[in-house]
Amino acid sequence: MAKMRGAVVVDVERCKGCELCIVNCPQNVLANIAAQVNSKGYPYVYMKNPGDCTGCTNCAVVCPDGVLTVYRVKE
């Protein structure tokens, strides 16, 4: 079976650091950036373990703020 590789693009200014994507990612890909905030004063997520992302879209689907865009390829 072909492995899926995914990538998540974070719209940093929309992110509010709520962590819902983080806990809903089955691959543990995402994390909040520590000690840094966007111009609204919120921490935001980034792909901490980018290699593990399968592009399943769970993170984007559960994000209330429409922060995440997901791409996927068969490897």
Partner 1 sequence: MELKDIIKPENLVYKRTECLTDKVLSYCPGCGHGTAHRLVMETIEELGIQSETIGVASVGCSVLSYDFMDVDMTGAAHGRATAVATGIKRCNPEKYVFTYQGDGDLAAIGTAETIHACNRGENITIIFINNGIYGMTGGQMAPTTLLGMKSSTTPYGRESALMGNPIKITELVAQLPGTYFVTRQSVHTPANVRKAKKAIMKAFDNQKLKKGLSFVEIVSNCNSGWKMTPVTANKWMEDNMFPFYPLGDIKVDGELVKK
Partner 2 sequence: MMNEEIIIAGFGGQGVLSMGKILAYSGMMQNLEVSWMPSYGPEMRGGTANVTVILSNERISSPILNLYDTAIVLNQQSLDKFERKVKPGGVLIYDTNGITKHPQRTDIKIFQVEAAAEAARINNLRVFNMIVLGAYLKLNNYLKIEHIVEGLEKSLPKRYHHTIQANADALKIGMDIVKPYTVLVS
Q: Which residues bind ligand SF4 (CB under 6 A)?
A: 6, 8, 15-21, 25, 27, 29-30, 44-45, 53-59, 63, 65, 67-68, 70
Rounded Cα distance between 53 and 47, Å, is: 8
Count the site residues for partner 2 by CB under 8 A.
4
List, in order, residues 6 or more apart from 69 with CB less than 8 Å away. Answer: 8, 9, 11, 60
- Could you tell me if 11 and 49 are in contact, meaning their C-beta atoms sit under 8 angstroms apart? no
Nearer residue to partner 1 within complex by CB, 20 or 31: 20
Q: Which is nearer to partner 2, 16 or 72 (CB)?
A: 16
